[in-house]
DNA sequence: CTCTCTTCACGTTCATGCACGTTTCGATCA
DNA sequence: TGATCGAAACGTGCATGAACGTGAAGAGAG
């Protein structure tokens, strides 16, 4: 990737997220923080962003003090996504579920990480097209509007032909008694099929999902390898842990 | 290959990929990096591209990266897209090819038009998720980075199971003698398969495509029902018309 | 032979990562 | 409240390798 190209990407990201974090960008772009800082410095010198401690913000919307910026810090989904990304090893075949958290995973995949991503989400596939090394395997079928993923017989059939090392699963409810749940029956079935194709399944559960229950059961807690969450140690987390899965905290 | 010819190729490649990498081009064209660099230097001097360390990018910053190009289509593509949209009737099953022009079609679909859209492009599928009435059928398979569409055996197989009323085809070259051409062999084959599944095939050809020739043949002009273009009446248009297809002008 | 295009050789510039000393920030303590 | 301390972020200088431009030499077409 060219320098000019990279800076273009940074500006684009700045507009989308409202801020740039040097450390995260370094990991994501697969280069040292020094180089990222150099980019930010040059962009700031060109008047395209404003440099702040830890990263950069848009010129117009510069926040007064550091603590106020802390408030806009990576929201919980970003944190969970960043931690989940670290579960992926070079060469892995990874199934990415649909949803905003897994989309964040796709966007934070380091650019020097060569993996095969299998997904039934056109949104995730589209987000990964720009990645230089990732090979994308798209599972086709009828696209359900509810959460913008392909579901149904054709998709299940396509899923049956593949295997993977890892499945990053998104759900809307994670409950010690009711297990993993989501809002659509067809999607729940799809998630089960995908889980059956991967050696390990990890649930991405930002803190608001814990304790929540949705109408349709996906899997029991015992059926997954682990749960990635940004919740802190405590009784709710312990309850989940007793049900079987490894609890991976972002803390 | 003549120098002028090679530079034509470079420009074409630049428009397709959004960037040129000196090293890759040297290997691909079978000559030294020196010569490639000289070409890039001359093209930049003529204002046809912008030189960067490692290669070259388009002059306009709007064209600098593919994602930006997806956001703002030139007027010509929008005109063609708008006219092509009028070929679609309520209840139709429509195959949408990948590419910026067909993406513009997806975006301009009236929100009260109920159709089934079949596509092998995750980008187009993602763009249609917000549409209230469209039913999306996604063709899966390995996603080719070149133009961000699914191709290959699995995709062909999926395509064989469907039929459609209409196929809106995007190509990079429309030429009276050389027919319809595109920049990738695999994609060319994919487009042929899709054409075979639809009752009618219409080519979307904004004016800069007319008279252009790319390396890989898709179909003969006689194999398609019509060509939608924003070119004006004249000898070039007449030449195409004599080859068989109906010419639909936006003018 | 002449002209053009190409490659090769050379010294130069550029991008990057590392090392080191400095600054900034939040937390802790008086 | 104000002072102090450690960690993180920062800037600078430097080394390295890649990419670059220039000029000379070689190859091929007319």
Q: What is the CA radius of gyration of chain B?
A: 18
More confident residue, A65 or A34: A34
pLDDT at position B27 is 86
pLDDT at position B198 is 97
Give residue-wise pLDDT tens across range B95-148: 999 998 999 999 999 989 999 999 999 999 999 998 889 999 999 999 998 889
pLDDT at position A219 is 96
**Mean pLDDT for all residues in chain B:** 88
pLDDT at position A74 is 52
CA distance B5 to chain A (A): 26
Question: What is the mean pLDDT of the segment spanning B9-28?
Answer: 84
CA distance B57 to chain A (A): 8
Provide ipTM, 2 decimals.
0.71
Task: Give A30's DSSP letter.
Answer: T
Which of A48-62, A118-132, B69-83, B231-245 has the lowest average pLDDT?
B69-83
Cβ neighbours of A117 in B, within 8 Å: none
Q: Which region holds residue B141: left if phi is over 0, alpha if psi is between -120 and 50, else beta?
A: left
Task: Evaluate if residue A68 carries a pLDDT over 70.
Answer: no
State the nucleotide closest to B34 in CA–C1' terms: C7
- pLDDT level of residue B92 (50, 70, 90 thresholds): very high
State the nucleotide closest to A37 in CA–C1' terms: D10
Give residue-wise pLDDT tens across range A166-220: 999 999 999 999 999 998 999 999 999 999 999 999 999 988 889 889 999 999 9
pLDDT at position A71 is 42
Q: Hey, where are the domains in chain A?
A: 3-71, 76-249
The CA distance from B125 to A205, in Å, is 26
**Mutation choice for A interface testing from B18, B103, B143 by most A CBs within 10 A:** B143
Fold of A76-249: Rossmann fold (3.40.50)
Task: Give B210's DSSP letter.
Answer: B
Which of A12-16, A171-175, B108-112, B158-162 has the lowest average pLDDT?
A12-16
Question: What is the mean pLDDT of the segment spanning B231-250?
Answer: 91
Look up the CATH architecture of domain B3-67.
Answer: Orthogonal Bundle (1.10)
B141 and A CB contact within 8 Å: yes
Strands (E), chain A: 20-21, 50-52, 55-57, 93-96, 116-119, 135-138, 141-144, 149-151, 164-170, 173-175, 179-182, 198-204, 216-219, 226-229, 246-249
Question: What is the mean pLDDT of the segment spanning A129-138?
Answer: 89
More confident residue, B76 or B98: B98
Question: Is the CB of B61 less than 8 angstroms away from the CB of A137?
Answer: no
Fold of A3-71: Arc Repressor Mutant, subunit A (1.10.10)
Q: Please tell me whether residue A89 adopts helix, strand or coil conformation.
A: coil
Count Cα atoms within 13 angstroms, Cβ side, for A223. 19
CA distance A59 to chain B (A): 19
CATH 3.40.50.1360 is right for the domain spanning B73-249: yes
Residue A209: C-alpha distances to residues A1, A173, B168 (Å): 37, 5, 42
Closest CB to B67: pick one of A12, A137, A161. Answer: A12
Q: Can you read off the two tokens belonging to residue A13?
A: 């990201």
């Amino acid at each position: 990737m060219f320098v000019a190209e990279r800076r273009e990407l940074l500006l684009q990201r700045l507009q989308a997220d409202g801020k740039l974090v040097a450390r995260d960008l370094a990991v994501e772009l697969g280069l040292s923080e020094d180089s990222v800082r150099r980019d930010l410095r040059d962009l700031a010198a060109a008047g395209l962003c404003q440099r702040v401690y830890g990263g950069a913000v848009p010129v117009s919307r510069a926040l007064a003090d550091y603590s106020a910026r802390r408030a806009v810090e990576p929201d919980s989904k970003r944190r969970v996504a960043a931690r989940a990304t670290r579960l992926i090893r070079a060469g892995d075949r990874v199934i990415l579920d649909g949803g905003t958290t897994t989309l964040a995973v796709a966007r934070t995949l380091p650019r020097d990480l060569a993996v095969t991503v299998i997904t039934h989400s056109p949104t995730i596939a589209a987000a990964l097209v720009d990645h230089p090394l990732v090979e994308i395997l798209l599972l086709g079928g009828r696209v359900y509007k509810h959460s913008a993923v392909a579901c149904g017989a054709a998709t299940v059939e396509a899923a049956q032909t593949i295997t993977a090392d890892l499945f990053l699963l998104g759900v809307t409810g994670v409950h010690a008694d009711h297990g993993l749940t989501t809002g659509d029956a067809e999607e729940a079935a799809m998630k089960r099929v995908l889980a059956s194709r991967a050696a390990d399944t990890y649930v991405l559960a930002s803190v608001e999902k814990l304790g929540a229950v949705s109408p349709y059961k996906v899997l029991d807690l015992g059926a997954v390898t682990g749960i990635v969450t940004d919740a802190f140690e405590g009784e709710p987390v312990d309850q989940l842990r007793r049900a079987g899965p490894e609890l991976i905290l972002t803390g």
